[in-house]
Amino acid sequence: MDTRPLLFIDSGIGGIPYAHFFYSNNRCEKLIYVADRANFPYGPKSKKTLVELLIFLVSGLVERYDPKMLVVACNAASVSALADLRQSFPALRIVGTVPAIKSAVLASQKRRIGVLGTQRTIEDPYIASLTAQFGPDCTILGEAAAELIDFVEHRWLVADSTERLLAAKPWVEMFLEKGADVLVLACTHFLLLREEFRQAGGGALAVFDSVEGVSKRVESILDEEGLRASAVTLAQAPRILVTGPPPTGDYWKQLTFAFGFSLELEQ
């Protein structure tokens, strides 16, 4: 039995669906979600900058929490820094988030794959290598959507269903116009608009993400390496640690309450 916590990290709220999905199926595990608001957003940053700031961040978290596993719940951070993090922390099990290219390729009839993410993720060669591996006959239609990430980060909680749908709809229409029949959500922030993307597509655009696959990967490592906490003990509610200056207003308090988490501000 290993009661040490699992850490999930992202630059803001985007990775929360990953942490929430995992915890919903593994309530005996202690979980800490780190919203690295001090460095939001990750997407526009260079690979070198992301590697440096993530190694610094994880170093402090390892010293503070002694986690048994780290989930990098951010596509930009994963494609940029996963290898460096594993090299810097060889004793820590680290799981990244990979855009669901394989699932999209298997489902596509038109062989045109829409990929929506950050500039860092879209430009990274990893997307091309995944496509070459699983669908060399496919065309990738990659689009960076910094403004949509900003919307999710700052407006998602308080926006009504109409506003959320209007935020997603132009991107869906653009991919449909370009002939795509599948869409990969290659930024974790966009999972919070997953249903709006599906609604806007009206069945013409299948939407894929990696949240279930990441959760299953974490579970398999826990099982294979004997890292599970006691199955008969319920852990305390997951905590969200927000880095940087204390956020103003009640937005983060409302957000953590909405997901059943508790809020902890960086000291």
- Catalytic one among 72, 74, 81, 116? 74
Which residue pairs, CB below 8 angstroms and at least 24 apart, start in 262-267? 262/236, 262/237, 262/238, 263/239, 264/239, 264/240, 265/241, 266/38, 266/241, 266/242
Q: Which of 7, 12, 8, 6 is nearest to 187 (CA)?
A: 12
Is 187 considered catalytic here?
yes
- Catalytic one among 61, 144, 187, 240? 187
Gap between the Cα atoms of 147 and 164, Å rounded = 13
Contact call for residues 156 and 13 (beta carbons, < 8 A): yes
Is 138 considered catalytic here?
no
Strands 262-265 and 239-242, by their bridges, are: parallel
Q: At what angle do helices 75-88 and 47-65 cross, to 10 degrees?
A: 60
Active-site residue set: 74, 187
